Amino acid sequence: MISITVQHDNFDSGAEADRLSALGGGAISSFVGQVRGDGNLYALELEHYPAMTEKALRKIAMKALDQWALYGITIIHRVGRLRVGEQIVLVCTCSDHRQAAIEACSYIMDQLKTIAPFWKKEILCDGSENWVEERQSDLDAAKSWDD
Amino acid sequence: MANQLSIVYFSWVRERIGRDQDTINCPENAETIGQLLDYLKTKDTVYQDLFADLKKLRFALDQDFVGLEAPLGSAKELAIFPPVTGG
């Protein structure tokens, strides 16, 4: 079962993991990404392409289901203005085995960062703004799963 | 009749153009995305500046990533945006 949500509101990662674990298996892996307090960052403004986002995330989740034996996948991504320390993204996977759950979770995050249509703008403490640029390390991480 | 195409913009592409969407009539001789961009450049200087460095841009046709050589076909929506930075 694949559950994909894009929302402004915060999420409860524990409740999401519980919901997913009810599907079966005994191995739950989850990743939560937060707004990192780098230097003088005040907040992030997250924008997305609503018509494409779910399609892109579902494609990633389907590929994960093809590669690992999973009972379910939950992806939640927030949009809007998020302050330092706030949660941005949750990926949670559920399987019979630890390795499958962890690898699938990692795969989904790596793909999400390079093909899901979200964009981050940094709002700095002095009020200036700056669109975040893609990082080569993210591209390399996503590509490493092709090998 | 010429094919109508919505063009949607995101992130700094939207800010640079100053609007989030356009609707255009595709010219008959624009068969690929690259050819459509060449056409748009003749229409507005904002496109000339924007398309000067295509390495900084990504394209999606009807919500799927495509390259410049992709045929427009009967697509309804072209999205132009910078590389994604979610997660």
Condensed to tens digits (0 to 9), the pLDDT of residues B45-65 reads 999 999 999 999 999 999 999
Backbone angles phi, psi at B22, to 5 degrees: -135, 155
Distances in whole angstroms, Cα of residue A141 to Cα of each of A42, A107, B65:
28, 9, 19
Among partner residues A88, A114, A119, which is closest to B11 by beta-carbon distance? Answer: A119
Mutate to test the interface with A, among B10, B14, B61, B84 (most CBs of A within 10 A): B84
CB contact under 8 A, B84 and A121: no
- Is residue A147 predicted with pLDDT exceeding 80? no
**ipTM value > 0.85:** yes
Q: What is the pLDDT of residues A72-101, one digit of tens each?
A: 999 999 999 999 999 999 999 999 999 999
Query: Looking at residues A108-128, what average pLDDT do you find?
Result: 97
Exposed/middle/buried for A55, CB within 10 Å: 0-12, 13-18, 19+?
middle
The structure tokens 């009967």 sit at B74
Global pTM reads: 0.94
- What is the percent of chain A with per-residue pLDDT over 70, rounded to a whole number? 100
Q: Look at strands A2-7 and A87-95 and give their pairing.
A: unpaired
CB contact under 8 A, B84 and A114: yes
What residues in A contact B61, CB-CB < 8 Å?
none
CB contact under 8 A, A49 and B79: yes
Query: Looking at residues A97-116, what average pLDDT do you find?
Result: 97
What residues in A contact B8, CB-CB < 8 Å?
49
DSSP 3-state assignment of B42? helix
Which tokens sit at A119?
Answer: 């964009």
Alpha-helix residue ranges (DSSP H) falling in A6-132: 13-21, 50-67, 98-115
Mutate to test the interface with B, among A45, A49, A82, A120 (most CBs of B within 10 A): A49
Q: What is the pLDDT of residue B2?
A: 61
- Closest CA of chain B from A140, distance in Å: 14
